[in-house]
Amino acid sequence: MTVIIPEHSGFCPGVSNAEKNIFRLKKREPGVRLFVYGYLINNRKYIAFLEEQGVRTVESMEDIPEGAVVIVRTHGLDRNEEAALRGRFRVVDLTCPKVKKVQNEIDAHARQGYAVVIVGKEDHPETRGHKSCAGECSVIGRVEECAPVVDRLQAANPGGGLPRKVFLCAQTTASRDLFEAIVSAFQAAGPGIFDLSVYDSICPVTDRKERESLRLRKDADVTFVVGDKISANASKLYRLLSAEPGTPVYFVEDLAELKSLGLDLPPGGKALLIASASTPAFIEQDIALYLESL
């Protein structure tokens, strides 16, 4: 088969940069004991690969030994947890600069009395980090959750009177459609109700990759989205592509899962292969080589 891989397939720049820095640090300080605080990316095979390389992943501070170096991953961290880590360990902050920028904007707006509204997943590590930079904060994950937040912010203004200052931003991997729908809902309340500051913090790399994948799918006989099922960005990519009518789309974690589907793939056909932002190149390459051999 001919395999088509979009330009932005695989690790996004934030994750590539974190990976490079970890291995650079290991090389520079061979004896260093490295611990990533939380999953560096949502891919269990990659976490196992890091373990093999001597880079451990921990979920609790209590599992980190004295003298270790702690990595703050690309999603960023709750600032209180980060302060606690810095009090006990040497910390290397590998938060993606785009995520850091959102945190700084939230912090600056919260200091000016803005209520913060984040479009994203409440329990996502990036959102938890964003929330820790805000004072009053609401997270909206679905359109239906917007109206109660609008009503609540309209009704309760600690400073008294209207308009209410509201800062709207998004988790960097949130859906653009959802973000735009939420911004419109706040705008629809009218200028006398909210003094809105809108920061479009959705990652342009994710956006470009989604658009490019949709375009390329039109030309493919079959599409494979590659990623761990626990990855929000991989699931979102799959939902987006499979929602459009056309040739089949499959969501697979690795080559073994693809083979287990027992698909009747057309030899000489075209396969579109898209690795999510948290899928390592070694998994993508395995699948590409297999498809090319058909």
Which tokens in the block code for residue 163? Answer: 């308009």
Binding mask 117-156 for ligand SF4 (x = CB under 6 A): ----------------------------------------
Tell me whether residue 15 or residue 146 sits nearer to ligand SF4 (CB atom): 15
Q: Which of 57, 173, 223, 231 is the binder for ligand SF4 (CB under 6 A)? A: 173
Residue 203 binds to ligand SF4 (criterion: CB under 6 A): yes
Q: What does the DSSP 8-state code read for residue 65?
A: P
Residue 55 CA to residue 166 CA, distance in Å, equals 41
In what helix (H) or strand (E) does residue 130 lie, and over which residues does it extend? helix 125-131
Residue 279 binds to ligand SF4 (criterion: CB under 6 A): no
Q: Which of 14, 76, 141, 280 is the binder for ligand SF4 (CB under 6 A)? A: 14
Tell me whether residue 20 or residue 111 sits nearer to ligand SF4 (CB atom): 20
Strands (E), 95-252: 115-119, 137-140, 164-170, 194-198, 222-226, 249-252
Q: Which of 9, 127, 132, 206 is the binder for ligand SF4 (CB under 6 A)? A: 206
Task: Taking the CA atoms of 128, 148, 199 and 119 in sequence, report the sign of the dihedral they define.
Answer: positive
Q: Name the closest residue to ligand SF4 (Cβ).
A: 14
Least distance between ligand SF4 and beta carbon 188 (Å) = 28
Task: Taking the CA atoms of 73, 240, 122 and 106 in sequence, report the sign of the dihedral they define.
Answer: positive
Q: Which of 71, 96, 115, 272 is the binder for ligand SF4 (CB under 6 A)? A: 96
Tell me whether residue 211 or residue 270 sits nearer to ligand SF4 (CB atom): 211
On the CB side of 120, how many CA atoms lie within 13 Å of its CA?
30
Q: Which of 5, 13, 26, 81 is the binder for ligand SF4 (CB under 6 A)? A: 13
Instruction: Quote the crossing angle between the two packed helices 97-111 and 13-28, to the nearest 10°.
Output: 110
Distance of CA 145 to the CA centre of its chain: 21
Interface ranges with ligand SF4 (CB under 6 A): 12-15, 74, 96, 98-99, 172-173, 203, 205-206, 277
